[in-house]
Amino acid sequence: MTVRRTGLRFELLLFLLAAAFFALGYARPGGGPGPFEPGPRAAGVLRVLTWNVGQSDGSLAADDVMHVATVIRQLEPDLCFLQEVANTRQIQKLLRDLGPEWTHSSKRERGGSQLAVLARGGWLVSFHVPAARAVAHGVRLRTSNGRTVSAIGLHADTFSSRKRNEQIGSAVEFLSRRHPDTAKIVAGDLNLDLDLDKRRDLFSDDSYLDVETYNFVADRLVDTAQGRGSTAEPDRRLDYIFASPAHFEVVAAGPVAGQRRGAMDHDPVVADLRFR
């Protein structure tokens, strides 16, 4: 019994040491991408933003459209994914506030609000994502410097892990199959929160299936803002930007706090991606 306890203590010590080394390595300066900080980006970098702009009790309030446009101008993304825009009139107002260099593609999501993809410069062509049609919007972006990006904006189901699994999995699989050779991005409110050790009213009926869903995506695409903190109330990480590692190097990524207004309950998440 004493030997067994000693062995268990030794194994526990090794586990704790391994976890400490992992944490130190993850935070080591120069050991990976840094947190996103607003400001000019380096040459050859694509800046991507995702933001669920809706209120906690519904879609984007009319009085907050100008605020969203102001934040987008300040953060200067090249490609912007928005969830829970109330209607196409709000999208048109955003475009007027942002300026003539912006274009967009959008579709109606469940509940009647809009999934919108905005691009600064270049052009957008939309495509359907059949198995996840109600929650996903696909676009091909041709950037001003001639690069092509295939991307899907997502707003996955809030309460059902099974539905999230089907929606997110089919979208990622479709993108990989139909656009195998182009740079790929999947971004949006995935409603996945993997901090199973914390009890914060997780809106999940099967947390372990959510982990499997995340792992399916992470096996194919890199989670650009991993380890950068929560993105939504109350202290939950729900919003993601995934990118194909064969085509992008992650320079910096993370949520940008302090941009919510009124009853908004999500932060924008931004990633600077350098084309390889």
Biggest distance spanned by C-alpha atoms of the chain: 75
Residue 193's pLDDT is 86
Residue range 32-275 forms a domain whose CATH class is alpha beta
Backbone angles phi, psi at 210, to 5 degrees: -60, -40
**Alpha helix ranges (H) inside 99-201:** 161-178
Q: Which amino acid is at 85?
A: V
The span from the first CA to the last CA of the chain, in angstroms, equals: 56
Residue 206's pLDDT is 85
d(CA 223, CA 218): 6
In 3-state terms, what secondary structure has residue 65? helix
| Interacting residues of 218 by C-beta distance below 8 A, sequence separation 6+ | 242
Tokens of 228: 């950068």
In 3-state terms, what secondary structure has residue 226? coil
Tokens of 99: 């300026």
Residue 12's pLDDT is 40
d(CA 134, CA 154): 9
Residue 239's pLDDT is 98
d(CA 255, CA 237): 10
Which stretches of the chain drop beneath a pLDDT of 50? 1-30
Residue 145's pLDDT is 85
Residue 34's pLDDT is 86
Residue 14's pLDDT is 37
CA distances from 254 to 6, 24, 48, 234, 240 (A): 42, 19, 11, 17, 9
Residue 44's pLDDT is 87
Domain ranges for the chain, please list them. Answer: 32-275
Residue 7's pLDDT is 46
Residue 38's pLDDT is 85
Residue 110's pLDDT is 78
Q: Is 188 left (phi over 0), alpha (psi -120 to 50) or beta?
A: left
Alpha carbon 247 to chain centroid, angstroms: 17
Tokens of 115: 């999934």
Strands (E), 33-93: 45-52, 79-85
pLDDT tens digits for range 135-171:
999 999 999 888 999 999 999 999 899 999 999 999 9
Residue 126's pLDDT is 96
Q: Are 53 and 69 in contact (CB under 8 A)?
A: no
Residue 6's pLDDT is 40
